[in-house]
Amino acid sequence: MEQSATGGFDETLYPGPVSEGCQNEGQVSEPGSVSESQLVARAIEGDQAAQRALYDAHVDRVYRLAFRVAGEEDLARDFTQEAFIRAFDRLPTFRRESSFGTWLYTIAMSVSLNGIRSVRRLRTREVTLDAAETLGDRKRVADPDLKDRLHKAIEDLPPGYRTVFLMHDLEGYTHEEIGAVLGIQSGTSKAQLFRARARLREVLADFAGAWTA
């Protein structure tokens, strides 16, 4: 795949040239104006061209989500590929109660969150005692620490809070859309977002000007 604004996703799931021309994200552009629902039906039957068209239409958005969760290009690429593999494996279970993109996004979110949790557990085991003492040092070295703290704070949110926060604040889903995807009321989504933001503010309070570098 050609390098894109996502950070240069290196296509391995569907090797080969990408169709020339600009394609709107989340929309399928094929000769004959084939609709996404038609492509999904063809993909369920094993049509690789239809799977490729769905992949091309959604890969940038899935990669962006994976990168926001992982914070690393290599991990984001791995999570993106795994999300599409799982989605196409599970495609016969897609009930079309939401759009294909929304359904795919929930799979990508699950893959990314579970993946980064596993990676961080592994890395934590590999930290030496000296490194642990360094991590525990309260001396502040400007704000690069903020990004790491934010990622960890999001990861540590309860699953419901975290999912709503990522979908609403990072990807722009409405509370009605979140409710449809997660099977909850829009009011529940709003409450979980409020609590997620409050918890993040509490965890990151010391970055709000309480100290100066």
Q: Smallest Cα–Cα separation from 171: which of 75, 61, 87?
A: 61
CA torsion sign for 61, 67, 70, 73 is positive
The type of residue at 128 is T
Same domain? For 152 and 120 the reply is: no
Looking up residue 184, the CATH number of its domain turns out to be: 1.10.10.10
Residue 5 included in any domain: no
Tokens found for residue 211: 């100290």
Q: pLDDT in tens for each of the 213 residues of the chain?
A: 333 434 434 455 554 333 333 344 555 544 456 788 899 999 999 899 999 999 999 999 899 888 887 888 999 999 999 999 999 999 998 887 778 888 898 888 888 888 887 777 666 655 444 454 454 454 444 455 667 777 788 878 887 888 888 888 877 788 987 887 777 899 999 999 999 999 988 888 876 554 333
Task: Give the range of the structural domain holding residue 30, as residue numbers without chain letter.
Answer: 21-126
Find the CATH number of the domain harbouring 28: 1.10.1740.10
Of 89, 80, 88, 90, residue with least CA distance to 111 = 80
- The dihedral through the CA atoms of 48, 54, 57, 60 has a sign that is negative
Please indicate, yes or no, if residue 211 is contained in any of the structural domains.
no
Total domains present in the chain: 2
Give the integer Cα–Cα distance in Å for 179 and 211. 39
Note the pTM of the prediction, 2 decimals: 0.58
Is residue 137 situated within a structural domain? no
Per-residue pLDDT at 2: 36
Nearest-angstrom CA–CA distance, 10 and 14: 10
In a domain, 110, yes or no: yes
